[in-house]
Amino acid sequence: MHRLFLAHLFFFSLWMGVAQEKTPFSTYEFLKDQVYLDSLTILLNKGDSKDNLFAIIKWSTQHKDFETVISSFSKLVEAGYGTANLHYKLGGANGIRIDELSKIKALPYVNSMKNNFKKAHQLDSLHLPTLDALTRIYAELPGFLGGDFEKANRYAQLLYQISPAEGLLAKGFVLESEGNRVEATKIYRKAFEKLFFLDSCDVKKNKIYFEVRSKNLSYQIGSLGLEFNLGTQKSICALEYYLDAFDVYSNLPKEWVYYKLALLYKKQNNIKKVKINRSLALKINPKFKPALDLK
């Protein structure tokens, strides 16, 4: 359970245009999976002990049933197990649920997401994924839902003091959300300069760095490198790490990773690897239009 929801990226396309391109969260039609539903029923009938609630969370997360995930995390909070990491995970589950719902239905989840991230920060002011999440939600939410660029910058600065590269990525995100793409690019470039360990693409170093951070951070780095032309090899390394660490809890579709790798290899004129990664994307999703359009 340690790696569950460590961490999600939130895009909030519901109310406003987002800064970076939006990659959809992975989905699964769990309501059509009778094996999942039958096993879930058995787990639910075992009661609300701590161990059983975590078992429910594990099972429902694997099948992208985030309503059940939220309900189970909430029961753990109500039972007094509300650690910083648990509140962070609950905020993350609400963040994904927001992306699945209409504007009106998503409103209660927005409040729950914010409250749980703030509670996580109160319990552990040094929790890196929480600082990143708070930066993003305050940068992206509209004012009437509590969006506040000043607060976003404040959390980004706190993140910078603990983890400079992540802090710079967060500061760049705020600038991008404000519409200042030129300055955002400069800040992102500074962040990439601090990610020097990605140049050698050392598996052990990558694991040490990424394992205690956002589960999607490596994907974010690769995407930024591609979009802003910030370091092709570092971006490839980051995305390959995401693939190596990919598991049933990963929430970004694998075909998007292969597609972006294909685009990065295209920048290097490595046609062989372009074709390989394009094919891998289409093997997962034969109707994946971005890969189909890639020549």
As a three-state string, the secondary structure of 14-44 is: CCCCCCCCCCCCCCCCHHHCHHHHHHHHHHH
Q: What is the model's pLDDT at position 21?
A: 54
Q: What are the distances in angstroms from CA 90 to CA 22, 101, 184, 250?
A: 22, 17, 30, 16
Name residue 7's beta-bridge partners. Answer: 215
Contacts 24+ apart (CB under 8 A), 69-73: 69/93, 70/94, 70/97, 70/109, 70/112
Q: What is the model's pLDDT at position 9?
A: 40
pLDDT tens by residue, 236-263: 999 999 999 998 888 888 999 999 999 9
pTM reported for the whole predicted model? 0.87
pLDDT tens by residue, 62-73: 999 999 999 999
> Is a pLDDT exceeding 60 seen at residue 15?
no
Spatial distance between the Cα atoms of 165 and 54, rounded to a whole number of angstroms = 33
Q: What average pLDDT does the chain have?
A: 90
Q: What is the model's pLDDT at position 2?
A: 37
> Is a pLDDT exceeding 90 seen at residue 111?
yes
Mean pLDDT of 181-188: 97
- Structure-model confidence comparison of residues 102 and 134, the more confident one: 134
Mean pLDDT of 156-162: 97
Query: Among 247, 219, 246, which Cα is nearest to 235's?
Result: 219
Token pair recorded at residue 268: 């290097």
Phi, then psi, of 215 in degrees rounded to 5? -60, -25
With cut-offs at 50, 70 and 90, classify the pLDDT of residue 23.
Answer: low
> Is a pLDDT exceeding 50 seen at residue 271?
yes
Q: Please give the domain boundaries of the chain with CATH numbers for all domains.
A: 30-252 (1.25.40.10)
Spatial distance between the Cα atoms of 110 and 183, rounded to a whole number of angstroms = 29
